[in-house]
Structure 1
Amino acid sequence: MNNFLFVAAENDALYNCKAGGMGDVVRDVPRQIASRGDKAHVVVPSYGRLHQQGTLKTTLTFNLRSTTYIAELYEVNPKKNFDNIHYYVIHHPEIEAGDIAHIYHNDPTEPFYTDAIKYFIFCTAVAEAIKNEAFGKIDIVHMHDWHTSLLLFLKKFHVGYRVLEKARFVYSIHNLAIQGIRPFEDNYSSVKNWFPDIPYDTESLKDYRYSDCINLMAVGIRYADAVHTVSPSYKEDILNASNPPEFIGGEGLEEDLQKADNEGRLIGILNGSNYKNIRTAEKGKIYLITINAIFKWLQEESKKYKADFLAHTGEKIAKYLVEPPEFICSSVARLTEQKFYFFKRSPDAFVEILKKLKKVNGSFILLGTGAPDYEELFRKISYEHENFIFINGQSEDVIDAIYLESNLYFMPSLFEPCGISQMLAMRNGNPCLVHHTGGLKDTVSHLKTGFSFNGATYEEKVKNMLEVFDLALKIYSKENEKWIKIQNNAKKMRFTWEKSVDEYYKLLYSINQ
């Protein structure tokens, strides 16, 4: 039996511990591993809340800032129990919940300032737990994104954690654009402040653009035994330099990625989707479910502008209870540049889409929270266009209903490491309209399982996006047989975790099953 440890910032196997697709991966991969008879331990930060119903397993004592730190390791109950999986959180008062999904902090004036601090503490506590065999003797440590790569820093440079060298370390990249860059020194949230006694090599840790800073994403790429991208096409994309907005590639780390690829350490494996025991919504209840969610949010909301907008959205939805639209186009995503750059830069193009929908008695439903300027843009458009329903909140029930009731799922990501939303939409038989990039290339086939657009320039991409949207509406309205075939093809697609984890064992974990 192999003993795995998954280390991540989020885990959707636990309640209220998800901000994005990483949470789905950290939920599903351990379940696959456990089903094969191996043992999986999954550890995330407590964020001051997730430990409260847990069982204290041990205390962890370690040194940071020339000070003794004591953290607590709790075993916690998941949403569903599985044999061979144990779930943990690490609690320390300085590992606080952020304003993004009660996980990450948004530090606009000094990016990663607060998050770096909490993940420095978290990773050192995890290293101490591995050293003390709190999870037993670990064979494979699977880390996710920059929040966890400090484990490799400790493994390489900290004499107290040489024991980490006994395990194989795998590093998954979920979003290369978010790199966890912090100063080496002269800052409270710096490497020198938190690890004053560790003799580290700045040359091997530095960011290429800011040589006085560590790049924690780069640390994962440079020091892991295997580096994993969550789709094959995204792996190919990131080996090339970015040329935004036409092309998003290696984001300044392409040389590190090329080196990892040449050494056989960079591997692209498509994420899977869950097709068993899935949450299902009740058909025909999307507007009722949304109104219930809005009433709940209104009771919690302290910001007047947000409460006013929720009431405005509720009013719009109420009309649909009596006269529902005939066509629903939808998106569910974090409101970020990655997901909605096309709409932010060209709001007139989005308005054009709303006008096209109005002609077929259609509406656009967008659910998400995120960057304030994106929220503000979509609130403004919602006030101006009656067939745009902007659900500015997070609700699993509403999301499930959206995937069930939509006719077309829209995913115009500027770049996409893999994407889970298109898989969930296709699972429900919804064709997707996507930008032909990254993992979307690997999952959506134009005019077979959905629709895709591309272009050599930004202007060409926007023009093609609108033309392909027209094409989708035309096929839906006038070529019913063709639309049903695309729907059926989408529903038949299977991106299974069984297949993905087969490749994990062989290519990432170097284990023969």
Structure 2
Amino acid sequence: MNNFLFVAAENDALPDCKAGGMGDVVRDVPRQISERGDRAHVVVPSYSRLHQNGTLKTHLHFRLRGIDYTAELYEVVPKKEFGNLHHYVIHHPEIEEGDIAHIYHNDPTEPFYTDAIKYIIFCTAVAEALKREAFGKVDVVHMHDWHSSLVLFLKKYHPSYNGLKKMRYVYSIHNLAIQGIRPFGDNYSSLENWFPELELDYGALMDYRYQDCVNLMAVGIRFADAVHTVSPSYKEDVLRPSSPPEFIGGEGLEKDLLEADNEGRLFGILNGCNYSNIRVAAKGKLYRNTVKALFRWLQEESKKYKADFLAHTGEKVMRYVQNHPKFIVSSVARLTEQKFYFFKRSPEAFVEILKKLEKIDGIFMLLGTGAPEYEDLFRQMSYDHKNFIFTNGQSEDLIDSIYLESDLYFMPSLFEPCGISQMLAMRNGNPCLVHHTGGLKDTVSHLKTGFSFDGDTYDEKIRNMLTCFDLALDVYTNDRPQWKRIKANAKRKRFTWKKSVDEYYRSLYLL
């Protein structure tokens, strides 16, 4: 029996421990491993809350900043139990929850300042737990994004953790654009402050652009035995330099990624999607679930500043309770540059889409929270356009209803490492309209399972996005047999975790 440890910032197998797609992967891959008869352990930070009601397994003692630290390892109960699968959290008072999904901190003046501190403590505690064999004798350590890469730094450079070298280390990249860059020194949130006893190898650790800084994403790429992007097309994208906004590629790390590829360490494997035990809302409850979510948010202290907008959204939704629109376009996403740059830079294109929908009695529903400038844009759009419903919050019931009752799912991502939303929409038989990039290339086929657009220049992409939208509406309105074929094809597509994890075993784990 092989023994795996997954190290990540998120794990959607636990309640309230997800901000994005990484949480889905860290939930589903260990389940697949356990179903094969191997043993898997998953460890994430407690964020000062997830350890409550857990079982204390051990105290972990280590040194940081030249002083003694003690963290606590708890085993916790997941949403669903699987044999040979154990979930843990590490608690320390300095590993606090952030303001993004109660996980990450938003440090606008000094990016990654607070997060780097908590993940340094977390990763050192994980290294100590591995050294103490708190998870048994581990064969493979599978780490996710920059938050976990410090385990590799400790294995390579810290004399206390030399024993960790006998395991195999796999590093998954979920979002190459977020790299965890921090100064080497002269800062509380720096490597020299937290590891004053270590001689740092500045050349091996540095960011190419900011050479007085460590790049923790690069650490994962440089030191792992296998590096993994979450789709084959994203692997091809990241080997080329970025040229924004036309193309988002290696984000300054293409040299490291090319080296990993040449060494046979880089693999592009598409994420899977869950097709069993699906949490599904009852059909016909879309507007009711929207109103329920709005009432709940209105009672939350943190939402008080946008109470007027939430009430405005409720009024808009009530119009459709009796008179349903004839066509629903939807998007569910974090409101970030990655997801909605096209709408932020070209709001007139979004207005054009709303006008096209108005002609066929259609609406656009967007659900999400995120960057303040994106929230502000969409709130103003909602005030200005009666057929745009912007639900500015998070609700699982409402998300399920949106996926269930939409006609077309819209995903104009600037770049997309894999994407889960298009898979969830297709699972319900919803055609998707997507930008032809990254994992969206690998999942949506133009005029077969959905619609896609691209272009050589930014302006061409915007024009093609609108042309593609016209095409989707034309097929829906004037060629119902083709629309039904596209829907049926989308629903039949299967991106299974079994297939993905088979490839993990062959290429990443070498088992």
TM-score, length-scaled by structure 1: 0.99
- Give the equivalent residue in structure 1 for 2:291: 291
Paired residues for 1:15-414 under 5 Å: 15-414=15-414
Contact 1:301 1:307 in 2 (8 A): no
- Give the equivalent residue in structure 1 for 2:509: 509
- Give the equivalent residue in structure 1 for 2:417: 417
**Matched AA of 2:445:** S
Contact 2:298 2:304 in 1 (8 A): no
- Give the equivalent residue in structure 1 for 2:471: 471
Question: Cα RMSD (Å) of the superposition?
Answer: 0.6
Summarize deviations over 1:344-386 as a string: whole Å, max 9, x none: 0000100110111111111100011110100000000001111
- Give the equivalent residue in structure 1 for 2:7: 7
**Matched AA of 2:158:** H
Give the Å deviation of 1:317: 1.1
TM-score, length-scaled by structure 2: 0.99
Q: Secondary structure at the match of 1:374?
A: helix
Identical-pair percentage: 77
Summarize deviations over 1:185-234 as a string: whole Å, max 9, x none: 00000000001001220100000000000000000000000000000000
Q: For the structure 1 residues 265 and 344, does the alpha-carbon distance in structure 2 shift closer, same or farther, using more than 3 Å as the test?
A: same
Q: Secondary structure at the match of 1:24?
A: helix
State the distance in 2 between where 1:63 and 1:298 align: 45
Which deviates more, 291-300 or 484-493? 291-300
Contact 1:17 1:23 in 2 (8 A): yes
Give the Å deviation of 1:307: 1.3
Which deviates more, 451-460 or 49-58? 49-58
Summarize deviations over 1:321-356 as a string: whole Å, max 9, x none: 111111100000000000000000000100110111
Q: Secondary structure at the match of 1:324?
A: coil
Summarize deviations over 1:275-321 as a string: whole Å, max 9, x none: 01111110110110111111111111345431111111111111111
State the distance in 1 between where 2:488 and 2:201 align: 55
State the distance in 1 between where 2:276 and 2:488 align: 19
Contact 1:46 1:91 in 2 (8 A): yes
State the distance in 2 between where 1:318 and 1:58 align: 53
**Matched AA of 2:81:** N
**Matched AA of 2:194:** W
Paired residues for 1:460-499 under 5 Å: 460-499=460-499
**Matched AA of 2:429:** G
Summarize deviations over 1:71-113 as a string: whole Å, max 9, x none: 1111111110111100000000100110000000000110000
State the distance in 2 between where 1:302 and 1:479 align: 47
State the distance in 2 between where 1:46 and 1:354 align: 43
**Matched AA of 2:300:** E
Contact 1:152 1:223 in 2 (8 A): yes
- Give the equivalent residue in structure 1 for 2:427: 427
Give the Å deviation of 1:38: 0.2
State the distance in 1 between where 2:324 and 2:50 align: 40
Q: For the structure 1 residues 114 and 362, does the alpha-carbon distance in structure 2 shift closer, same or farther, using more than 3 Å as the test?
A: same
Give the Å deviation of 1:132: 0.7
Q: Secondary structure at the match of 1:331?
A: strand
Contact 1:95 1:119 in 2 (8 A): yes
Summarize deviations over 1:412-443 as a string: whole Å, max 9, x none: 00000000000000000000000000000000
Contact 1:98 1:106 in 2 (8 A): yes
State the distance in 2 between where 1:163 and 1:43 align: 20
Q: Secondary structure at the match of 2:471?
A: helix
State the distance in 2 between where 1:465 and 1:126 align: 45
**Matched AA of 1:127:** A
Contact 2:297 2:303 in 1 (8 A): no
Q: Secondary structure at the match of 1:73?
A: strand
**Matched AA of 1:372:** P
Summarize deviations over 1:5-54 as a string: whole Å, max 9, x none: 00000000000000000000000000000000000000000001111111
Q: Secondary structure at the match of 1:502?
A: helix
State the distance in 1 between where 2:103 and 2:324 align: 36
State the distance in 2 between where 1:45 and 1:315 align: 40
State the distance in 2 between where 1:26 and 1:408 align: 28
Q: Secondary structure at the match of 1:44?
A: strand
Moved over 3 A (4+): 301-305
Q: How many residues align?
A: 511
Q: Secondary structure at the match of 1:147?
A: helix
State the distance in 1 between where 2:157 and 2:481 align: 62
Contact 1:39 1:84 in 2 (8 A): yes
Q: Secondary structure at the match of 2:299?
A: helix
**Matched AA of 1:279:** R
Q: Secondary structure at the match of 2:455?
A: coil
**Matched AA of 2:75:** E
Summarize deviations over 1:140-190 as a string: whole Å, max 9, x none: 000000000000000000000011101100000000000000000000000
